[in-house]
Amino acid sequence: MKVSTVAQMGNLDMSATEEFGISQDLLMENAGQAVYFVILKEFGVKNKKFAVFCGTGNNGGDGLVVARKIHSNGGEAKVFLLDDEAKFKGAAEKNFEIASKMPIEISKVSSIESVKIAVLNSDAIVDAIFGTGLIREVSGIYKDVIQLINESKKTVFSVDIPSGINGDTAEVMGIAVKANYTITFGLPKIGNMLYPGYDHCGKLYVSHISFPPSLYNADSIRVEINNPIELPKRSKDAHKGDFGEVLFIAGASSYLGAPYFSALSFL
């Protein structure tokens, strides 16, 4: 499987819309459905309480879809916004409008005390605060909320990447959500795969959210987790003399361990 940068994933989003007519509304719906599916599979939904923390970008829009799915399938979702609702745009704004018309409690976080009881009374938390594009240090109410999430010891589902992790470097930007499950979209980002970001993801799921394979298999995305070469078949009567030779250039006069064990592995 390939691994993308934040910019590459942004280009995939754009190409999905411009080349294939896959709207941002549909991509957001698919993303929210993917998160909901993991919650249903790993934790269950019916008669359970969820605190859903949303920023006002597309990550927050994904979180609103998740809240709607939870509500529609017998769970209770309380949405907590970390910024002004007027900042929602595009598909995220539409999903805010839809959620607002449903009996889903939506409130803006004014202080950490205003959400502490709801968090403690919840069965699980959905983290949809920051997406993969975070490049600044987490501070203010965002920092306080992430600290509360981590201290609550509740089961946490992060949308795309744990909030507070840099999507390109895997760096913790001051503080980051410690998730039990992370559902990332299209392709895993570098921040999902390298430490310390990987350690914050918990169990990582990857959903292609209806991206055509031609997009995420494009040559422009060159980093892969692995790309094993198919080994040639061996004749049943072959022996070690038939399998070629290898030369190791490694180590130094006082550091013989690495070449020794490398050579030993070929025997």
pLDDT over threshold 80, residue 97? yes
Question: What tens digit of pLDDT does each residue of 185-208 get?
Answer: 999 999 999 999 999 999 999 999
- Look at residue 238 in the predicted model and tell me its pLDDT: 87
Q: What are phi and psi of 157, to 5 degrees?
A: -110, 115
- Look at residue 77 in the predicted model and tell me its pLDDT: 99
- Look at residue 82 in the predicted model and tell me its pLDDT: 98
Segments making up each domain of the chain, as ranges:
6-216
Q: Are strands 155-159 and 124-128 parallel, antiparallel or unpaired?
A: parallel
pLDDT over threshold 80, residue 227? no
Among 53, 32, 28, smallest CA distance to 138 is for 53
Phi-psi group of 172: left, alpha or beta (phi > 0 → left; psi -120 to 50 → alpha; rest → beta): beta
- Look at residue 174 in the predicted model and tell me its pLDDT: 98
- Give the Cα-Cα-Cα angle 123, 124, 126 (nearest 5 degrees): 150
Could you tell me how far CA 101 lies from the centroid of its own chain?
28
Percentage, residues of the chain above pLDDT 70: 99
pTM summary value = 0.86
Average pLDDT over residues 228-239: 82
Q: What is the rounded CA–CA span in Å between residue 66 and residue 160?
A: 13
Tokens of 24: 């941002």
Question: What tens digit of pLDDT does each residue of 4-60 get?
Answer: 999 999 999 999 999 999 999 999 999 999 999 999 999 999 999 999 999 999 999
Average pLDDT over residues 236-265: 83
Count of C-beta atoms within a 10 Å radius of residue 9: 24
Q: Which CATH architecture has domain 6-216?
A: 3-Layer(aba) Sandwich (3.40)
